[in-house]
Structure 1
Amino acid sequence: MIEWLHQSDPIWQALFAGGFTWALTALGAALVFGLTNVHRKLFDAMLGFAGGVMLAASYWSLLAPSIDVADELGWPSWFPAAIGFLLGGGFLYGLDRILPHLHRGLPDESAEGLKTAWQRSVLLISAITLHNIPEGLAVGVAFGSAGSDLTMTSLGGATALAIGIGLQNVPEGVAVAVPLRAEGMSRSKSWLIGQASAIVEPVAAVIGAAVVVYAAPVLPFALSFAAGAMVYVVVEELVPETQQEGNEDVATLFLMLGFAIMMILDVSLG
Structure 2
Amino acid sequence: MLDSIISYFESINPITAALYATIFTWFVTALGASFVFFFKSYNKNIMDTMLGFTGGVMVAASVWSLLIPAINMSEGSGFTQVYPPVIGFLLGAAFLYSIDKILPHLHVNFQKVEGVKTPWQKTTLMILAITLHNIPEGLAVGVLFGGVAAGIPEASIAGAVALAIGIGLQNFPEGIAVSMPLRRMGLSRRKSFFYGQASAIVEPIAGVLGALAVTFFAPILPYALSFAAGAMIFVVIEEVIPESQQNKSSDLATLGFIVGFILMMTLDVALG
TM-score by length of 1: 0.94
The residue aligned with 1:269 is 271
2:174 alignment partner, SS class: helix
- Asked if 1:113 corresponds to 2:112, the answer is no
Alignment match of 1:22 (pick from 26, 32, 45): 26
User: Equivalences for 1:1-270 in 2 at 5 Å?
Assistant: 2=5, 4-71=8-75, 76-105=80-109, 110-270=112-272
Q: CA deviation at 1:74?
A: 11
Give me the whole-angstrom Cα distance separating, in 2, the residues matched to 1:184 and 1:116: 21
RMSD: 1.9
Q: CA deviation at 1:214?
A: 0.8
| Contact map agreement 1:147 1:155 (CA 8 A) in 2 | no
Once the two structures are superposed, what CA deviation does each residue of 1:147-185 show, in whole Å capped at 9, x if it has no partner?
A: 232321111000000011011111221222123223332
Q: CA deviation at 1:146?
A: 2.1
Once the two structures are superposed, what CA deviation does each residue of 1:44-93 show, in whole Å capped at 9, x if it has no partner?
A: 00100001000000000000000001048999221111111111000000
1:234 alignment partner, SS class: helix
| Contact map agreement 1:70 1:77 (CA 8 A) in 2 | yes
Could you list the runs of 4 or more consecutive aligned residues of structure 1 that deviate by over 4 angstroms after TM superposition? 1-4, 72-75
Give me the whole-angstrom Cα distance separating, in 2, the residues matched to 1:75 and 1:188: 53
| Greater CA drift, 3-12 or 207-216 | 3-12
- Distance 1:73-1:210 versus aligned 2 partners, 3 A rule: farther
Give me the whole-angstrom Cα distance separating, in 2, the residues matched to 1:193 and 1:124: 10
Give me the whole-angstrom Cα distance separating, in 2, the residues matched to 1:92 and 1:135: 12
Which consecutive unaligned segments of at least 5 residues does structure 2 have?
none
Give me the whole-angstrom Cα distance separating, in 2, the residues matched to 1:70 and 1:239: 31
Which consecutive unaligned segments of at least 5 residues does structure 1 have?
none
Q: CA deviation at 1:105?
A: 4.7
TM-score by length of 2: 0.93
| Contact map agreement 2:105 2:125 (CA 8 A) in 1 | yes
Give me the whole-angstrom Cα distance separating, in 2, the residues matched to 1:256 and 1:71: 33
Aligned-pair identity in percent equals: 56
| Contact map agreement 2:9 2:157 (CA 8 A) in 1 | no
Once the two structures are superposed, what CA deviation does each residue of 1:199-242 show, in whole Å capped at 9, x if it has no partner?
A: 11000101111111111111100000000000000000001111
| Contact map agreement 1:46 1:175 (CA 8 A) in 2 | no
2:80 alignment partner, SS class: coil
